[in-house]
Structure 1
């Protein structure tokens, strides 16, 4: 995995990372707040005896006896009398540690207690009590015949703050742990994800170019013909990008026709087909949109047209093509609704009548777009594909499962159908701000954002239009 791919995953899954960090930090904060504070006090003493046999100190003491004295300082022999002397409750003294300063006759005593006062008092009392009982555990001190004294070098004082819990350290470690856990969860979620999330996911799966990424529209299914209701929005710009890219694909096929389908229902194929047809017509191309979804036709409903008669009526010979075509306003877009739903859609779409009708449509129009059923439930799309220059597969981001895309691709491959490219629909990508800036720059310079695309479309369709003009003459 490359660094840019990792960063893309982390940007996509940032909510998981943030949630994990907040959870770990919250748990650490609760545990820290519920942990009783611990205070540490320290004292350093000089232990010596002055008697008839001379002066004796810890520096002169054999190693075995020194170790014994240090162990006694931490044992109940010293701690129990100290606790009774100070009147402390059980559990107030947490720990006592005694150690000899290397190369000196000094003893360091460190005490941990529940209160700062108790820690300081216990450290002082332990030093005094150790001096009192040490002759019982050291032959050298006992032989001196003198009283052992603990002379204070560093006095114990109540600490100003607890030694634990360390709030800043705990929260910093929790933040770091939450970050690593969050990244791990994000990568795990990405590897276990069964849905198509990004255009890169779609491109990696299909091996075909993603011709456009169409942003998710707010408001559900309202205003589906957004090429007219919001012609300067980010969604309309995405459709224009799809239009332009399809023109480049069409240069290689020269059939000037595509079908629009999807792996499964409810992925936005009809809305994409309708707006794509409008975008082509806006660029000066004479376009016909054919609703070949003879199972659940929706082009007429989307465009609020009468769809009771149409394609099936023409195929059955009950009306001519001119009678069934519906012109969209004053544009160069014509609609051929599905008509009455037949009992044998696949057979009707694969019939000779459908072939002859499609030949006529290609002769009369600069471009033919066909809306077909989804690939996986039925075979209609692969049947119609043989009549067109290729298929555009619309995939819904965060909705379409990767296995459905893989199955649709296998269906195309097995049937010999041609997949021209894909479009990622309902993508959670905010492209409106970029497009708005682009529009402002173009308007300020007196430019036309669609000029280049219109030129491309006119160049792509000019030979066929000129041929039809000569035929009319």
Structure 2
């Protein structure tokens, strides 16, 4: 994974990371609050051997082995029971104490821990003499020579003012670090398991072709979003115009003034995108033709509410001329060629010589030709049609298109050297205002602004299908 991709994953899934950090720190805070505090007190004593009433042998000294033995018996009842009695503790009261010894001296460091700071200090200061009282019992040399072990305090323990555990600051710091690691890990796992396209970065990771526009998802009362006609100042319409502008820049490099609009799989909004794009082209004064080349599941006629019984297949069969099946639609005057009747051999028709001759004529007669084709993965129709055009506009549905489907479509196209000119990310979440300082416009307002919108269909003169029904 590249660093830029890692940053993109972290920024796009920051909510997961923040949630993990908040939960981890909350757990750490609550655990710290509920945990019994432990106070630690330390004392240093010096153990030595001295004669009993002046009758002992003064040559006896403590060995390293003796000190290690005393360290081992420090926590035994022989030492702790007298200490409990001396400190007024009940029998069996828990005492947490340990010692460390030096290999070169008779100095012993005693560490006592307790939930009470006062008790911790008393245990650390009081256990030295009790250890010395029983120390001689564990050394025959000392007892046989009339000597005893004595404890002299070198550094008495003071009452601790703050607990050594739990440490709130350390716990919160560790929780912050752990929450970050867990959050980033979950974000990466979620990214790896996420199979749908959710951003432009997902598309860029699969293709070098640019994302020409992001089209927001907007609700419509009629179920079909024709924003250029119904809401020309809305955010979706502005996004379609941006798509139109960027596609024109791409067209400069091809010079063929025609594009196929397709998608990887169905239900990604390719037809609605093609219709709106054609309307935007025509709205800019360009003589635009929209061709429905989806001969398997044609829908342009249904979207625009025009007669679709005759169209592209009718012309390819030689039963009509292009002028007889082409409609003019809406206030923009976009020209529309429906698909016609669904044939049993759509791929063969689209790859036929009549189709090539017809498309050459259409490109000559119109400033711009937009072709709505079937999706890439189910059938090869889009690959066949793209040979006649200047490029492919690939529509990907936000949270609808699966990455593996889009990757498969790109691989299938690259196999036949079919270049994708750009992408349109459809159904993206709307951001900011509906448009650049403008509100939406209702159908009634649009009809009042231009009566041609209310009339909808303006058939070409002499068209046998000029009985287009208003919507």
Scaled by the length of structure 1, the TM-score of the pair is 0.77
The structure-2 alpha-carbon separation of the partners of 1:132 and 1:413, relative to structure 1 and needing over 3 Å to count, comes to: closer
The structure-2 alpha-carbon separation of the partners of 1:331 and 1:315, relative to structure 1 and needing over 3 Å to count, comes to: same
State the secondary structure of the residue aligned to 1:205.
coil
Are the equivalent residues in 1 in contact too, given 2:241–2:277 (CA < 8 A)?
yes
Q: Which residue of 2 aligns with 1:203?
A: 204
Q: Which residue of 1 aligns with 2:468?
A: none
Say whether residues 1:246 and 2:247 are aligned partners.
yes
Are the equivalent residues in 1 in contact too, given 2:217–2:426 (CA < 8 A)?
no
- The CA deviation at 1:284 is 1.5
Q: Which residue of 2 aligns with 1:72?
A: 73
What's the CA shift string for 1:394-433, capped at 9, x where partnerless? 1224432333223223332444544333333334584x47
The structure-2 alpha-carbon separation of the partners of 1:78 and 1:4, relative to structure 1 and needing over 3 Å to count, comes to: same
The structure-2 alpha-carbon separation of the partners of 1:155 and 1:233, relative to structure 1 and needing over 3 Å to count, comes to: farther
Output the CA distance in 1 between the equivalents of 2:75 and 2:57.
Answer: 22
Output the CA distance in 2 between the equivalents of 1:188 and 1:410.
Answer: 25
The structure-2 alpha-carbon separation of the partners of 1:144 and 1:233, relative to structure 1 and needing over 3 Å to count, comes to: farther
Output the CA distance in 1 between the equivalents of 2:133 and 2:94.
Answer: 23
Say whether residues 1:7 and 2:18 are aligned partners.
no
Q: Which residue of 1 aligns with 2:94?
A: 92
Residue pairs, 1:56-205, within 5 angstroms: 61-83=62-84, 86-88=88-90, 92-93=94-95, 95-99=96-100, 107-137=108-138, 150=151, 154-156=155-157, 159-191=160-192, 193-205=194-206
Output the CA distance in 2 between the equivalents of 1:330 and 1:427.
Answer: 27
Output the CA distance in 2 between the equivalents of 1:303 and 1:37.
Answer: 75
The structure-2 alpha-carbon separation of the partners of 1:253 and 1:108, relative to structure 1 and needing over 3 Å to count, comes to: closer
Residue pairs, 1:352-391, within 5 angstroms: 352-391=353-392
Output the CA distance in 2 between the equivalents of 1:47 and 1:19.
Answer: 56
Output the CA distance in 2 between the equivalents of 1:24 and 1:302.
Answer: 52
What's the CA shift string for 1:67-117, capped at 9, x where partnerless? 433433343421244346644475732x31224589887643211234445
What's the CA shift string for 1:183-229, capped at 9, x where partnerless? 2343344445444444344334234x224131441438956122344
Output the CA distance in 1 between the equivalents of 2:382 and 2:68.
Answer: 90
> Which is further off, 379-388 or 300-309?
300-309
Q: Which residue of 2 aligns with 1:259?
A: 260
Q: Which residue of 2 aligns with 1:217?
A: 217
Are the equivalent residues in 1 in contact too, given 2:301–2:338 (CA < 8 A)?
yes
Q: Which residue of 2 aligns with 1:53?
A: 54
Output the CA distance in 2 between the equivalents of 1:56 and 1:268.
Answer: 104
Output the CA distance in 2 between the equivalents of 1:173 and 1:110.
Answer: 26
Q: Which residue of 2 aligns with 1:425?
A: 426
What's the CA shift string for 1:223-254, capped at 9, x where partnerless? 61223444344433433332223223323332
Q: Which residue of 1 aligns with 2:18?
A: 18
Residue pairs, 1:278-293, within 5 angstroms: 278-293=279-294
Are the equivalent residues in 2 in contact too, given 1:213–1:427 (CA < 8 A)?
no
Are the equivalent residues in 2 in contact too, given 1:69–1:138 (CA < 8 A)?
no
What's the CA shift string for 1:41-85, capped at 9, x where partnerless? 33344556575439999x974444344334333434212443466
Are the equivalent residues in 1 in contact too, given 2:263–2:394 (CA < 8 A)?
yes
State the secondary structure of the residue aligned to 1:182.
helix
Are the equivalent residues in 2 in contact too, given 1:74–1:98 (CA < 8 A)?
no
Q: Which residue of 2 aligns with 1:38?
A: 38
Q: Which residue of 2 aligns with 1:395?
A: 396
Output the CA distance in 2 between the equivalents of 1:89 and 1:389.
Answer: 95
The structure-2 alpha-carbon separation of the partners of 1:347 and 1:3, relative to structure 1 and needing over 3 Å to count, comes to: closer
Output the CA distance in 1 between the equivalents of 2:225 and 2:410.
Answer: 27
> Which is further off, 42-51 or 127-136?
42-51
> Which is further off, 213-222 or 330-339?
213-222
> Which is further off, 295-304 or 279-288?
295-304
Are the equivalent residues in 1 in contact too, given 2:56–2:146 (CA < 8 A)?
no
Are the equivalent residues in 1 in contact too, given 2:374–2:381 (CA < 8 A)?
yes
What's the CA shift string for 1:118-174, capped at 9, x where partnerless? 434433442331232233346787589687665556554554443222232122112
Are the equivalent residues in 1 in contact too, given 2:39–2:114 (CA < 8 A)?
yes
The structure-2 alpha-carbon separation of the partners of 1:14 and 1:100, relative to structure 1 and needing over 3 Å to count, comes to: same
Are the equivalent residues in 2 in contact too, given 1:47–1:131 (CA < 8 A)?
yes
Are the equivalent residues in 2 in contact too, given 1:210–1:423 (CA < 8 A)?
no
Q: Which residue of 2 aligns with 1:269?
A: 270
State the secondary structure of the residue aligned to 1:206.
coil
More helix by share: 1
Output the CA distance in 1 between the equivalents of 2:420 and 2:31.
Answer: 58
Are the equivalent residues in 2 in contact too, given 1:214–1:235 (CA < 8 A)?
no
Output the CA distance in 2 between the equivalents of 1:341 and 1:280.
Answer: 28
